[in-house]
Chains A and B, each alone.
Chain A
Amino acid sequence: MRRRAGESILIGEDIEIQILHIGESRIKIGITAPKSVPVTMKEVKLVGEENLAAAQLHSVAALRTMLDRLIDGPTGGEK
């Protein structure tokens, strides 16, 4: 399927994807979808999976192991 700026794609009855602007390295698209359909960038879903996995840790033993393996280093002025 080939589309130009200003043209649209329909998915089913309720979802429309419109090509708004085509730039040199990125395009701007507009998405119209029912509220029940989540619209997210794929990266966000992948980051969410990483976050879910990261939230699983926190047994004391696991943290000890991690601390033992960690680098020593400057903390960059964090507080």
Chain B
Amino acid sequence: MVFPDGIPAFEQEKRFLAMRQPISEPLVFLQSVTHPDVCFATLPAPAACPGYRLNVTPEDLHALGFKRGRQPEIGRDVLCLAILSLTENAPPTVNLLEPIVINIGTLRGRQAIQRDSSYSHREVLPLRGAACS
């Protein structure tokens, strides 16, 4: 997968691999091709939050190769991965506000910085019921 702009703080990392392993389902690891030590644990946003809805900005839609004005459908148009954070003595959190969005057709990706979204960049896991809707 190609990230033409990298992702914030990792602007030099332009190519990533997405990896899943049965032992770590449903996690998806995003590993930089050029610096394999740069690796993020992510969760598909719908797995973290069933019914998750994207609200990608027109600028990000354009950069991903989509028409402005229509949100891409997760699973059909895009993969949508939320980065996991783990701090000691605190529950894991997941960034549902700024997900990694990958165009399935072109495998071009980008971290979408959403505005006007009700999600948090630190949603606590596990999410229960309507906590994230």
Contacts and interface: CB of A to CB of B under 8 A. Distances in A.
Interface of A: 41, 43-45, 47-55, 57-58, 62-63, 65-67, 69-71, 73-79
Interface of B: 7-10, 24-28, 38-41, 43-48, 50, 52, 74-76, 79-81, 83-87, 91-92, 95, 98, 111, 113, 121-122, 125-127
> 5 closest A-B pairs (Cβ-Cβ)?
A76-B46, A48-B9, A77-B75, A48-B8, A78-B44
Contact of B113 (A41, A55, A63): A41
Nearest to B11: A48
10 contacts: A50-B121, A50-B122, A55-B38, A73-B46, A73-B50, A76-B52, A77-B75, A77-B76, A78-B44, A78-B79
Instruction: Give the interface centre of A45, A53, A54, A77 by most chain B CB atoms within 10 Å.
Output: A54
A45 B8 contact: yes
Contacts of B91: 69
Instruction: Give the interface centre of A48, A67, A70, A79 by most chain B CB atoms within 10 Å.
Output: A70
